[in-house]
A and B are shown apart, each in its own frame.
Chain A
Amino acid sequence: MAINKDSNSYTFVFAIVLITVVGTILALLAMGLKPMQAKNDEVKKKLDVLSALMTPKEMETIDRSNAAEIFEKYVNLEDALVLDAAGKVKEGLKAFDIDIRREYKDKKLQEADRNYPLFIAKKDGKTFYIIPMIGKGLWGPIWGNVCLAEDMKTIQGASFGHQGETPGLGAEISQPFFVNRWIGEQISDESNEFSKFEIVKDGSGAAMPSRVDGITGGTITSVGVQEMANRCLKVYVSYFNNL
């Protein structure tokens, strides 16, 4: 049986069959794997929070298998708060369920209506405040967690992540050398005013508070981190000032 493969009808039928088959496979796969992916995302969120709280040395013993257990040990989700853009506590919301990434992406949601979760952790008898952040890099979203010490000012730990920044350039924001540049910086000055962060190119970041050295070749991602930190951390400073 000869089929004219150049005929319009054959082309249409082939295209329809192909997209139906491929579409079905992809849809079934995505549906079937969704519960596992959601669980992985939840563990990842806990890992991100922990990596800001724990020292790099302690993080070496934490992976996906024990992240949930260690998270529960240090972070009490009952204490966690949700703030509004003015830094006031919002009641009746669960901090861990707030998806700041979805809210950030939601164009219909005004910036003033976004929720700002705050996790409170107890470690070695001290209280730590962990602030999740979300922003935009060169190719996609970037995120981070900042852990403040008991004085609610000094950055005691941080972690950054990204979806698809350029490997070796912008992607370096998640590397320890960049994260370490944030440790010891202060989010507010002596008069408790929010101090704006600046990512600098001249290497002066190490010596000056609220100045951080950027990454060579990763300028746009570095600027994205700066914008993210300034926009997100500001809200929490007004909350801490009203305590």
Chain B
Amino acid sequence: MATVQANRAEANGEQGPGTFLSFLRQMSKNRLGVLGALLVVLVFASAIFAPLIITHDPIRIMVGPRLAAPSLDFLLGTDQLGRDTFSRIIMGGRIPLLVAFASLGISLALGLVLGLVAGFGPRWLDNVLLLIFDTIRSFPSIIFALAVIGLLGPSVTSIIFVIATTSIPIYARVARTQTEALRNSEYIAAEQSMGAGTTRILAVHVLPNVIGPLIILVSMDVPAVIAVQAGLSFLGLGVRPPTPDWGAVLNDGYNYIKNTPWLAIAGGIPIILATLGFTFLGEALRDIFDPKLGKDL
């Protein structure tokens, strides 16, 4: 029994002690991955410690002149209402991260459950679920987002709802494929012959094998979610003013692009850094843990 356990742990990529060290060794060889990790840490740190970093109140108007260029007092200049752009950018990282984690967390959990059900349940249920997944998947997510936000009104909740809804089918499909492959394996048959119930098999034996690839997929989807959230804010369909948010700052910069380039640059750079950081990190994680994943998606 012990060897079976060990074999399975090996198949899962859990090689016991030293795994984390070997992960760090592999990671440090991947220069883009290291850069990505640094950027991600920077984004998280600035969002978490935002209140300590900001130099002015991000929503107070006329703390300085309107549309000022960067200076020692206003590190990234000011916007059309005389608000400090640097403070708005630092505070503005909180909403994209919140949206990314809330929406991807919800879709990971629901996608996992639906995928397990589809992969392990009866054939007809699998077919019905697949039809629903494919329907949602083939619907353009931005158009869907616009339509739903047009109806629900712009808010962080609507954005989380839209992103979760459109991501669930992706994870569910991956979870389903993995579950179906495991379903016919010998150790599952052995469990069944020993009288283990479906719930026990799914929770104890299938779930640990399915969740790894899904978490890598989720980490690779973070930049896309940040892009959608920032994009909706850019269109004025995200957070309500005066809440600071990267997309909203970029939109201000776009509206006053003829007056000053600084606002547009200040709004664009954090979006670029965050999406690049999460992309490089996600690709590095995939290359280390599961090189084949995502190639056929």
Interaction A to B: no
Q: B-contacting residues of A (Cβ < 8 Å)?
A: none
